[in-house]
Chains A and B, each alone.
Chain A
Amino acid sequence: MARAPSPDPRQAAESVFRRESGQILASLIRISGSFDRAEEALQEALASALASWPGRGVPENPGAWIMTVAHRKLLDGLRRERTAREKQDSLLYETATAVPPPDPDLDEAGMSYPDDRLRLMFTCCHPALNREAQVALTLRTLGGLSTPEIARAFLVPEATLAQRIVRAKRKIQEAGIPFEVPPADRLQERLASVQAVIYLIFNEGYAASAGSGLLREDLCAEAIRLGRVLCDLLPREAENLGLLALMLLHHSRRTARMAGGALVTLEEQDRSQWDHTAIAEGLALVENALGMGPAAGQAGAYQLQAAVAALHAQAATPGQTDWPQIAALYGRLLERQASPVVALNHAVAVAMSVGIEEGLARIDRLGAAGTLDSYYLFHAARADLLRRLGRNREAAPAYRQAAALATNGVEKNFLERRLREVEGAGGLPRSSTA
């Protein structure tokens, strides 16, 4: 039996694929103007790698090797098609500028390709595509996840997800969505869409869910990876840093926030289990981001939320949390986006800094509008403040309502546990609060 050479060719090919397929694919799409052709060429190049590396050994720069071979496959395919169908080159964006590929066996380590991932991000997150399509396409083309993996992570049938991707690619081609970085006057608006997609992917992974824990973790890791790419490609955009910081700081608590399948609140988490490397990186990013904004008062929403997460991360114990500062940050966030959800967070921070009664009064004022009636966190926050005040008889129905509205099993379990606690405790006031 042949012994596997080291490094293992199949593993090498797979790791290149996960790490670099986004960049290679982006480049192939620019050259061919077609997602499908680019994907086909990449698949063929991978097959070549798997056929050739076991015999010849893994090349020094496997990514460049695959890129070069894929590039050649792509041009071969285009040439074949052109001869077959004559003037049918209307699908090409710019074959004129396509460089003939060098021989992959020559100097593959010295090869460098322009990074087209930024264009790809803007195309995948184009507002002419619906959000679900943006998410699926971004994960499929820029991420290292396969269609079945994405489908399982989003709990949709594989066929549904595949169909979503096919439809999105077809719209890009047929409606002429450009493969470009938008001009300066459109950049902010379009960048916001890219950031929203990345954050949505993160949140989908972060939402504590009973099943598929590992895949959820993969989604978070993918979102962070995409956030890093965005920071690398557009490092002067403070909100890119804010978004990455926000995700890192939340993700740093991933181990501590779950214990035996049950949710552990921030207050009850074992802070020694937090990922301090991620926290250090997140804190540095927040500082950088806030330092580069035009004025401190104009920090964007991701930066403000990251600053809140940073304050939690810096508190060695729950009692040391700088709640007044958090309340101030939510106040600023509220000025930017006057949503009831932000107002709810602000009210909780006020409760923890100014006084529980004051926070509760604000929550009740918010509730009077009725817009938060079906939002489980509204009832959960209200219940929590009532519990802290020892008003257990009022807390119980609020917990009950929150648990009834929560769709996530883990969160529902947590709320039901709290409900049993307050029901068991009866009207006895609790001594400590925060």
Chain B
Amino acid sequence: MMCQRGLTMRYMMLIYTRERAAEMSASERADIYDRHSKVIADASAKGIFLGAEPLGRTTTATTVRVENGQTLITDGPFAETKEALAGYYILECPNLDEALEWAARIPTGSKGAGGCIEVRPMPGLPKRPEAVPEHGPSALA
């Protein structure tokens, strides 16, 4: 009712889990696959699905950092015991409550793996800030 005029927001749902896929049985992996498929199918049917992808494991991650014009490349970071970013969804929802409801349906790992979903609004690219001419304090007077 509040958003009858097509006012929606894009939300990114970041999936954090422990990287334990190797320890999962085939039937557990199949279950997770099916649950993702269902969320994607339902969201697509509602016309709110904007994308979802898994990410490669943190062992395949590479970090790039530019410092003083030098590009530093390092291996990792690795998740070790903590939960790591494993994938994302982007859905278009009228408000946070609906986004949270979708988020609760996204599987975060097998039984023991726990995991959670971080929901963030995507405000879109901001306008390029107008360059403010620099004046001394006296200009304010």
What separation, in Å, do the CA atoms of A90 and B5 have in the docked complex?
Answer: 10
* Interface flag for A180 (CB, 8 Å): yes
Closest residue on chain A to residue B121 by CB atoms: A175
Determine the chain B residues whose CB is within 8 A of the CB of A179 once the complex forms. 2
Contact status of A90 and B2, CB under 8 A, knowing A128-B96, A177-B96: no
* Interface flag for A178 (CB, 8 Å): yes
| CB <8 Å contact, B4 and A178 | no
**A343–chain B nearest beta-carbon distance, Å:** 29
* Interface flag for A364 (CB, 8 Å): no
Interface string of B1-27 (1 = CB under 8 A from A): 111110101010000000000000000
Contact among A92, A174, A182 for B97, CB-based, below 8 A: A182
Interface size on A, residues (CB 8 A): 17
Interface size on B, residues (CB 8 A): 19
| CB <8 Å contact, A176 and B2 | no
**B61–chain A nearest beta-carbon distance, Å:** 28
**B131–chain A nearest beta-carbon distance, Å:** 20
**B92–chain A nearest beta-carbon distance, Å:** 11
Determine chain A's interface SS by DSSP, over half rule.
Answer: loop
* Interface flag for B95 (CB, 8 Å): yes
* Interface flag for B90 (CB, 8 Å): no
* Interface flag for B40 (CB, 8 Å): no
Closest residue on chain B to residue A183 by CB atoms: B97
What separation, in Å, do the CA atoms of A373 and B93 have in the docked complex?
Answer: 47
**B119–chain A nearest beta-carbon distance, Å:** 8
Contact status of A176 and B9, CB under 8 A, knowing A128-B96, A182-B97: yes
* Interface flag for A414 (CB, 8 Å): no
* Interface flag for A368 (CB, 8 Å): no
What separation, in Å, do the CA atoms of A182 and B4 have in the docked complex?
Answer: 17
What separation, in Å, do the CA atoms of A57 and B69 have in the docked complex?
Answer: 71
**A179–chain B nearest beta-carbon distance, Å:** 7
Determine the chain B residues whose CB is within 8 A of the CB of A92 once the complex forms. 7
12 A-B pairs besides A176-B99, A182-B97 with CB distance below 8 A are: A93-B7, A96-B4, A128-B100, A174-B121, A174-B123, A175-B120, A176-B9, A176-B95, A176-B121, A177-B95, A177-B96, A186-B97
Contacts from B to A (Cβ < 8 Å): 1-5, 7, 9, 11, 93-97, 99-100, 119-121, 123
